[in-house]
Every structure is written in C-alpha cells, then in structure tokens.
Structure 1
Amino acid sequence: MARTTPHDHPPAEEEPLYRRIATQLLGELREGRIPPGERLPGERRLAEHFGVSRETVRQALELLRRDGLVATDRRGSHATLSGLPVEAPASLAFPVGAAAAAPGTVARATVTWEPPPPDHAEVLGLAPGRPTLVHTYRYATADGRGLRTAVTSFSAVALAEVEELARYRDRADGTATAHLRRAYDWMRRAGLTLHHRDAITRLASTPSVRVTRQVHDQYARPLEITDLVVDAQKDALVYEFTLPGRAD
C-alpha cells in the first residue's frame, strides 16, 4: 500500500501538492530532460526525486494524463509532448535520406500497422500478409521539387526488443505525425549493435535514384529495411561516416 506523508494533504486554501508535482514534472518534460515518447521513471523513483509519496506521484500523473500530456500503457508512462529531444541526432539518421527542416520545405512522417511490401516481408522474415510497423516519410520543397519518399518496415525482433518502437503499435493509424528520428538511438540503447548496408540504384528512364537500407543486429537478425526514392535532378545524397579512433 502506498505510503502517505503528512505534507501530502495541505490546507484547503493551498494548491494541492499533487498539482505542484504535476507542474514540476511538466516543466522537466518541456525542458527535454525526458525526450518525447520515452518512458518516464517509475513511481518510486519519481517519488524519491520530488520527495513525496508514491500516491502523490500517482495523482500528479493522473492529472497530466487527463490533460493529454502523459500516456500510460502496459510498458509504463511516457510523455506525449511534441518537439525534438535536446540530444544531438546521431550521424546515422532515420530514415535514410531524412533532410533537415528548412523554410520552404515540407516534411511529413506517419506510421501504420499493416502488411509491409512483399520484398520487405521477405527480408524481415515475415509471413506474407503479416502486419508490422510501417513508417512512411515524405519530404519536398514548397513547390514540390526535391521530392524524397522513404518507406520503412520494422521486424518482429525490433518491435520485441525496442520498447519505444513497440509503443507506436497502438497509435499507428496513419494520421498522427511520427518522425521516429531517434529510432537508431533506441535500438542501440536496447543493447543492439547496428550493421547497415545501403544499396544505391538509378531508376530507369527517370532522374531518380533508389536507396535501399537494410539494418541487422550483432546476431544477424533483421531490424528494419527502408526504400528511399529521391528526385536527383538537383539534389544530392550525402553520406557521413564516423570511424573509431585508433588506440595506441
């Protein structure tokens, strides 16, 4: 049973303690201490952090849930605030070909739970017709030029071991924005070593090129496959690689 401390119940004229804790927690979320979409610490750790009881933390979380600022599922609670994490993005960007937002450009990314393209299913070891998490990315200038589109399918292994990805299954209706910029960071944090292979081919009779990226883990298990198509008339693909330093 949750412990209740005397200061959890202030006089009626004062703001309830759980509201103050909710405000403090919301402030930390907005500062980016816990990036959007990532799981919050458990109630016990939050109680220790704020110096209150778990019951007070539970009430604060419920208040934030009612306001749509926190969501809870079987894996725990996580922030639903929009915005970018404060950490610098990894040089291995997701999806391959993702471009930085700039004035005069439009970027759109969504997720769906559906059967992937047949060639994706084969690479990922999925039975025909079996659904998985599919991410679609579209980028273009305001006049429609410089178009690049990417379709990514995730494997059952990725969804089983990377909780941040698995969390998207329940809201993969193709309507909400879901850039998943930190997908590779989430995979690494789950203990997966990433090996990627990019193949570039020019599409016949068009100025476009196709980039196909396959990502496996240290056990050669497939994690995701992405097909990127770029209108390459006046565009360029830039690949950045970081090599480990030599230990003397």
Structure 2
Amino acid sequence: MARSTPHDHPLTRGEPLYRRIATELLGELRGGTIPPGERLPGERQLAEHFGVSRETVRQALDLLRRDGLVATDRRGSHATLPGLPVETPDCLTFPVGARAARHGAVARATVTWEPPSPEHAEALGLAPHRPTLVHRYRSATADGRGRRTAVTSFSAVALAEVEELARYRDRADGRAGAQLRRAYDWMRRAGLTLHHRDCITPLPGTTSVRVTRRVHDQYARPLEITDLVVDDQREALVYEFTLPSAG
C-alpha cells in the first residue's frame, strides 16, 4: 500500500470521514491489494496509509464489519469479500515431493509428537529435546521403484497460529494415517504469507537426491522444515513457480 495524506481524501459534503475511508479501503480490497481471507494491516499502518487517525480507521473497520465485508478474530482483521477462496498453489504441495495417487501406487502418512532431529530443531528455533508435531510420508510406484520418504517438523509458531495443525497433537501416535495435504492452505487461511526455499542435493555414492524445504512467514518466523529423499534419481522432480505481475 502506498502512503497517502488527508488531502487525498476530499470529503463529500455531509459524509463522515470514516465512511470515506471505509469506501477507499473496500476499493483496495476489491482491487486485490489484499486477497480474500488474508490478514489486513494493523490499525496504525492503515492510519498512516490513509493519513487519518486510528480512531477513524477503527470506525471504518466497524462499518465494514457490520456489512460483513471484514471479520475480526484473535489474529486480526480479515477481508471476507466474495471471490476465489485462498487455495494453495499446485506448485506448493505438502509435503514437498508428494504425488497424486496413481493406480497401484502406495502412499502413507502419519504424525507423531516427539523431539525432531537436531537439524530440524535448530532450523525451527526449538530447544533441544523439545517435542513438536512430526509428519512422515512414504510413497512408491506400483513396481516398488521411485521410493520417496519425507520427514516434516513443524515449529511452535505453526502450531500456535494454525488451529488445524494443533488439533493433531492429541492423536499423533504414529499409527493412524494423517493427511495434511492442505497444510499450506491452512497456514494461508490463518493469515500467514508463505515463503519457501528448496535445496536439492545429490547424495554421494547413490542415485538418490535429497530435497530440503524451509518455509517461513512474513515475519521471518520458521513454520516448517521438510527433508525429502527420492531413491531413484532417474525420476524427475518438477517444480513450477508463478510470480504475480508488477501491474
């Protein structure tokens, strides 16, 4: 959002300032500045952006809230405009390397509540031996080739912010199947902007490769780390990335 000043918002005679700000904010939301479901900036940021007081912003948000265009929960305010749901892009599949089910293919996923590996604990900022939610994924083709194994550890931030993930703690016994395919969608619906970095490394002396994915949010807080091992390097790993246009 570009910063503006009070002079950018000339009042129509008799129109309250907060109503004009509500109209301006609604226009930006409809224009896609903030996608449906994403968290709005705080009152202070909005006040600076529109060049008005925080009280005026608060009144404008109240007006949009009454009209059902904004909802507020413990994580902040969110746009609730009708539109496409906030979905996870296909290129950001959880866990990294997970494949669509094929005839005869075998895939299994489970979760446990346990201390992660030292490398994962360090990446997530967890104290040594502190337990967290750990997800394990295994898959193979119908002929047993192309095995993939992925281990994901979630951070304390992810479990605190994402209600759907936190629910798994009480049933993380490592026995029952656990499908977290929508994990990234849940994170985005919780108001988290996802940034991920994938590192692909050949494993010496083998035909396997390791893919390490690290995901953090807009505040640089770690959310999860995944280590994927693909046993048959002859099988291609394809990643697609879409960047929004500058306009």
Tell me the TM-score range normalised by the shorter chain: 0.5 to 0.7
Residue type matched to 1:192 in 2?
A: L
What is the rounded CA distance, in whole Å, between the counterparts of 1:241 and 1:175 in structure 2? 34
- Corresponding residue for 2:176? 176
Q: Which amino acid is the alignment partner of residue 238 of structure 1?
A: V
Deviation, structure 1 residue 237 = 0.3
Q: Which residue of 1 aligns with 2:140?
A: 140
Deviation at 1:179? 1.9
Matched residue SS, 2:170: helix
In 2, the alpha carbon distance for the partners of 1:154 and 1:233 equals 27
Q: CA deviation at 1:217?
A: 0.4
Residue 195 of structure 2 corresponds to 195
List 4+ stretches of structure 1 deviating above 6 A: none
Q: CA deviation at 1:143?
A: 2.7
**Separation in 2 of the partners of 1:90 and 1:172?**
27
Q: 1:8-30 deviations in whole A, cap 9, x for unaligned?
A: xxxxxxxxxxxxxxxxxxxxxxx
Residue identity opposite 1:198 in structure 2: D
The residue aligned with 1:244 is: 244
SS of the residue corresponding to residue 139 of structure 1 reads: strand
TM-score by length of 2: 0.63
Q: Percent identity?
A: 80
Q: Describe the SS at the equivalent of 2:176.
A: coil
* In structure 2, C-alpha distance between the alignment counterparts of 1:233 and 1:113, rounded to whole Å: 31
Q: After superposition, what is the alpha-carbon deviation per residue over 1:125-184, rounded to whole angstroms, capped at 9, x for unaligned?
A: 111111000000001013321000000000000000000000000000011111200000
CA distance in 2, matches of 1:96, 1:218: 20
Separation of aligned partners in 1, 2:232 and 2:222: 29
Q: Mapping of 1:121-140 within 5 angstroms?
A: 121-140=121-140
Residues 43-62 of structure 1: pairs in structure 2 closer than 5 A: none
Alignment deviations for residues 108-138 of structure 1 (CA, whole Å, 9 cap, x no partner): 0000000001100000011111100000000
Residue type of the alignment partner of 1:230:
V
Partners of 1:193 and 1:177 in 2: CA distance: 28
Query: Structure 2 CA distance, aligned partners of 1:139 and 1:236?
Result: 15
Q: Tell me how far 1:232 sits from its aligned partner.
A: 3.0
- Once the two structures are TM-superposed, the CA of residue 233 in structure 1 deviates from its matched residue by 3.6
Cα gap change, 1:156 to 1:193, in 2 (>3 Å):
same
Post-superposition shift, 1:89? 5.8
Distance 1:88 1:158, change over 3 A: closer
Q: TM-score, normalised by structure 1?
A: 0.63
2:21: which partner in 1? none
Distance in 1, Cα, partners of 2:87 & 2:193: 19
Provide the residue aligned with 1:90 in structure 2.
89
Question: Equivalent residue for 1:155?
Answer: 155
* 1:99 match: 99
Q: CA deviation at 1:88?
A: 7.2
Higher mean C-alpha displacement, 142-151 vs 213-222: 142-151
Write the distance in 2 (CA, Å) between the matches of 1:246 and 1:167: 38
Q: State the Cα RMSD in Å.
A: 1.6
Amino acid at match of 1:228: L
Which residue identity is paired with 1:151? V
Check conservation: 2:138, 2:150, Cα contact below 8 A: yes
Q: What is the letter of the counterpart of residue 145 of structure 1?
A: R
Question: Number of residues paired by the alignment?
Answer: 162
Distance 2:87 2:107 in 1: 19
Q: Deviations over 1:189-233 (max 9, x none)?
A: 100000101111000000000000000000000000000000234
- Relative to structure 1, is the Cα distance of residues 226 and 130 closer, same or farther in structure 2, using a 3 angstrom cutoff? same
Is residue 88–residue 184 contact of structure 2 (8 Å, CA) maintained in 1?
Answer: no
Deviations 1:16-48 (A, max 9, x none): xxxxxxxxxxxxxxxxxxxxxxxxxxxxxxxxx
**Partner AA of 1:212 in structure 2:** T
